[in-house]
Amino acid sequence: MISLTEILLLTEAAPQDSVLVNAVNDKKIIALYYKGDRENSPGWRTGIIPVCFGLTNGKKYLRVWQTTGKTTTQIPGWKLLRVDRIRNINVLSKKTADSVPDSRFNPSGDRQIQNILAIAKF
């Protein structure tokens, strides 16, 4: 069930929310300027395939498969990004392959995102 806080977040959607929803639905490759938990400064994440966008405990999250760019973990790999830490988004013109980027993708949902607003259909 969506909380009142999450309803307010949805009604006050930031312009980047629609960009992220479209990128998920259209399976666009994107680049993000982002600062993670364990970083002192933000950096560009490139080769990002967004596959799920939604809400958990009043915060917006984006599940992505990252192939290149700055990270504190391994690439290629799955990442769960907080949308409020994204400072810039560049949608690249090409689409991703019509196949799932990794066999662990769950087309029915994401166990770390409680309320799914968009999920890729491969």
Where are the chain's structural domains?
A: 4-119
- Range 75-82 contact pairs with CB under 8 angstroms and sequence separation of 24 or more: 75/47, 76/47, 76/101, 76/102, 78/102, 78/104, 79/45, 80/112, 80/113, 81/32, 81/34, 81/36, 81/45
Residue 100: predicted pLDDT: 83
25 confidence band (pLDDT: 50, 70, 90): very high
Of 5 and 16, more confident: 16
Averaged confidence pLDDT in the chain: 87
59-115 pLDDT tens trace? 999 999 998 888 888 999 999 999 999 999 999 877 676 788 899 999 999 999 999
